[in-house]
Amino acid sequence: MKNHKIGLLYIAPWIIGFLVLTIWPIIMSFYYSLTDYNMITTPSFIGFKNYTSLFQSSLVNPNSFTVSLRATIIYVIFSVPLQLVFALFVAFVLNFKIKGISFFRTAYYIPSILGGNVAVGILWRFMFNPTGLVNTFLGTFGIHSVDWLSTTAGAMFSIVLLKVWQFGSSMLIFLAALKNLPPDLYEVASLEGASKLKQFFKITIPLITPSIFFNLVMQISNAFQEFNGPYLVTQGGPLQTTNLASLFIYQQAFQRYNMGYASAASWVLFAIIVSITIILFATQRFWVYYSDGGND
C-alpha cells in the first residue's frame, strides 16, 4: 500500500500535466466550438451553427474551410505516398553493408530534425524563388526559370517536397524492419531462381507491411496537421491554394479571433483523421502480414 502511494506520488506531476494541458483544452475546445467566442467577450452558445457554417462555405470563396480542406487532401494524397516510397528506397539502400554506413544513416536522418523548423522553411522559400537555387540548377540544362511560389501547382509542389524531405523517421523504421528479415527466405528464393526484383515484391514488401502500416498511419496524421510548410514557404498562397486546414484554423483563431469557428474546424479535422485511422485499422487484416497473426 505504501509503495502504491509512492508510485502515485511519482506519476502525479505527469497526471496533473496531462489533465491540465491536454484533457482540459480538448474539453474546452469542444465547448468553444458550440459558441460564438472572440477571446474577449463571454462565449455565447449557438449550438452546431459553427459546424454548419464550415460546410456551407463555397468552394469559390478562397478563404473558406472547404477550400482549405480540399488543399489539405491534395497535400496528403501527394506527400504521404511519395515520402513513404522515398523513405523505403533510402532504407533499402542503407541496408547494404557499405563503408561508412553509420555516417550516411545519420546524414539522412538530419532532414527529419531540421525539416520543420523556421530556418529551413525560410531557406526553402529562397530556394524556390525565381532566382533561387532550384531555377539556377534547372538553368544549367537550358530550362527556363519557373515562378514556383506564384503558381498553384508550383506552390503545392514546393511544400510537398519539403514534407518528403522529412523522411528520416519513416526511413529508420523501415531500416529496422529490413534488418529483421530472415536471410533464409532470400537464400531459398535465390536457389529457386527468383530475381532480386521478385524477391523484393514477394518477400520484402509483405514482411515489412506492419512497418508500412505504422508509417502510413503516422504520416497521414502528421500531413493532415501540417502547418510549418505552408506557413513559412507559401503563406497559404497563391489564392489560398496551399492554405491547409491547420493554417486556416490558426488564421481563424489568432488573426480573426473566431475561436468558436476555429474550434469547430479543429474538431472536423480531428474527426477526419480518426475516421481515416479507423478505416486503415479495419482494412489492415487484408494487406498487413503479422508473423504472430497480430495477436500480441
For residue 171, what are the CA distances in angstroms to 47, 63, 67, 75, 295?
45, 36, 32, 20, 26
Give the start-to-end residue ranges of the domains of the chain.
Answer: 59-286
Q: What's the confidence (pLDDT) of residue 293?
A: 66
Q: How far apart are CA 158 and CA 58, in angstroms?
A: 26
Q: Model's pTM, two decimal places?
A: 0.88
User: In residues, how long is the chain?
Assistant: 296
| pLDDT given for residue 112 in this prediction | 67
Q: Could you confirm whether domain 59-286 is CATH 1.10.3720.10? A: yes
pLDDT tens digits in sequence order for the chain, 296 residues long:
667 788 888 899 999 999 999 999 999 999 999 999 988 889 999 999 999 988 886 666 767 889 999 999 999 999 999 999 999 999 998 888 777 777 777 777 776 666 567 777 888 888 888 888 888 888 888 888 888 888 899 999 999 998 898 888 899 899 999 998 988 988 999 998 889 899 999 999 999 999 999 999 999 999 999 998 889 888 888 888 899 999 999 999 999 999 999 999 999 999 999 999 999 999 998 999 887 766 55
Tell me the β-bridge partners of 45: 35
b/e sequence 63-77, b meaning 16+ C-beta within 10 Å: ebbebbbebbebbbe
